[in-house]
Structure 1
Amino acid sequence: MKVISWNLLRLTGAAVEDVAALVDREKPDVMLMQEATRHIGDLPSLVGGHFHRLSWLGRIHGLAVWSPHRFGVPRALSLPASRLPGRLPRRRAQLVQIGDITLANVHLSHGQLLNRRQLGRIAAALRGKPSAIIGDYNIVGPVLLPGFADVGPREPTHYASNVVPFRLDRCLVHGLSCRTADALAFGPSDHRPIRLELALAEGWGLDGSGLRARPDMRPIRRDRLRRLYR
């Protein structure tokens, strides 16, 4: 699965035509977007495919996903918020199921304790599923999330005040392997798009629920249970 994630920078950054040009050039299986305004909803008219946008209350932008493949309506996951007066509207993650893989499209808060709490909430919602948390983390420094590996590109994806480099756009995976990860060239936005090639990790096989389970996670057979409790 080829995934591209891009923070579009609201109204002053990438327009829908810029996103369409990137899709035409890279041909991803999934395109995740942060700070997507309602104008990005015109993307299917330019490149076809399927689109869903999750708006944030009180904001002109939100999260969006596009794919040439049909997918179910994404789930909105509310994230922890600051209790300080004048706080920003509550942030949400967009959980998208594409085949056997769940993708969490995120734009986390700037607070370095708060955004790590938000990651914990997302990880709990994805527990036991082959999944990836992708997007604008707004995190500085390492991220330690049990059960997840940081496989995103290592180069800077944003320059604060066009000077200070930060690796804000990241990808953490569980039950997946990453074949390639890199940051693309800057476009009209102040963030570089990131490009990832993800696959199910070795050891995940189909079980009765349709998810891919590792051998050590398979249920114990009933005849073995009877022997255990004799």
Structure 2
Amino acid sequence: MKIISWNLLRLKGASLADVAALIRRERPDVLLMQEATAAIDPLPGEIGGYYARTPLPERIHGLAVWSRAPLPQPPRLLSLPAGSIVKRISQIIDFGDFALANVHLSHGQVLNRRQLRRIAAALPPAAAVLGDFNLIGPAWLPGFRDVGPRQPTHRAGDVLPLRIDRCLVRGLIATAPAVLGRGASDHHPIVIHLHRASALAAAA
């Protein structure tokens, strides 16, 4: 499964046309979005596929998922330990034999690690967590490996390069991680291919 994760930068960043162009160009199976607004909701009419968006509590932007194939069930929402300003959630997409968690974590470097532990406890043995982690340094999430691209994905204040868009996996094999062109957002999309070990063995 080819998966892309992209923080769109809410009202000022990537537009509906930008997102549709990314899907046409990269042909992912799943696109996870952070800071998606209602302006992205017409995406299935532009590109086909299946789509679900959930705003963060009391915010106009939130988490969204687009899938080329029908989702087995609607995404499940998980409330996370809240920061002093923004209440956070995770969007969990269950594919049956594995699950994806779409995240936009808090900036606090203790709090966002607490949020990751809450997410990990809610996921099946085979799972991946992708999105904007707002995380500096290692995730320290037992059982998970950081398999995302190593290049910077964001520039704080357009100056300091940071690798805050991540992919952590448990019970999955990841290949071909890459950082894509930033476009109109202040974050680069990241792309990764996820496999079950049994699927790779069968292919061999």
Report the TM-score when normalising by structure 1.
0.84
Which residue number corresponds to residue 109 of structure 1?
Answer: 106
Which residue number corresponds to residue 137 of structure 1?
Answer: 133
| Cα distance in structure 2, aligned partners of 1:92 and 1:166 | 23
Partner SS, residue 155 of structure 1: coil
Q: Which has the higher contact order (CA 8 A, sep 6+)?
A: 2
Instruction: Kindly report which structure 2 residues correspond to 1:153-172, keeping only aligned pairs within 5 A, or say none.
Output: 153-172=149-168
Which digits, 9 at most, give the CA deviation of each residue in 1:108-127, with x for residues without a partner? Answer: 0000000000000000111x
The alpha-carbon deviation at position 135 of structure 1 amounts to 0.1
Among 187, 197, 201, the residue aligned to 2:193? 197
Larger Rg over CA atoms: 1
The alpha-carbon deviation at position 201 of structure 1 amounts to 2.6
Which digits, 9 at most, give the CA deviation of each residue in 1:196-230, with x for residues without a partner? Answer: 0000135999xxxxxxxxxxxxxxxxxxxxxxxxx
The alpha-carbon deviation at position 89 of structure 1 amounts to 3.5
Which digits, 9 at most, give the CA deviation of each residue in 1:177-197, with x for residues without a partner? Answer: 001101101100000000000
Which digits, 9 at most, give the CA deviation of each residue in 1:125-157, with x for residues without a partner? Answer: 11x421000000000111111110000000000
Residue ranges of structure 1 left out of the alignment (5+ in a row): 206-230
Q: Which moved more, 1:14-23 or 1:89-98?
A: 89-98
Which residue number corresponds to residue 68 of structure 1?
Answer: 68
| Cα distance in structure 1, aligned partners of 2:166 and 2:143 | 16
| Cα distance in structure 2, aligned partners of 1:146 and 1:201 | 20
Residue ranges of structure 2 left out of the alignment (5+ in a row): none
Among 95, 99, 115, the residue aligned to 1:98? 95
Which digits, 9 at most, give the CA deviation of each residue in 1:59-95, with x for residues without a partner? Answer: 110000001110111000000013xxxx223210000
| Percent of residue pairs identical | 57
Q: Which amino acid aligns with 2:104?
A: H
Instruction: Kindly report which structure 2 residues correspond to 1:9-28, keeping only aligned pairs within 5 A, or say none.
Output: 9-28=9-28
Report the TM-score when normalising by structure 2.
0.94
Give the alignment's Cα RMSD to 1 decimal.
1.6
| Cα distance in structure 1, aligned partners of 2:92 and 2:155 | 28
Partner SS, residue 197 of structure 1: strand
Among 158, 175, 180, the residue aligned to 2:176? 180
Q: Against the structure 1 CA distance between its residues 125 and 99, is the aligned structure 2 distance closer, same or farther, given a 3 Å change threshold?
A: closer
| Cα distance in structure 2, aligned partners of 1:99 and 1:16 | 30
The runs of at least 4 consecutive aligned structure 1 residues that moved more than 4 Å come to 202-205
Q: Which amino acid aligns with 1:159?
A: R
| Cα distance in structure 2, aligned partners of 1:123 and 1:173 | 10
Aligned residue-pair number: 200
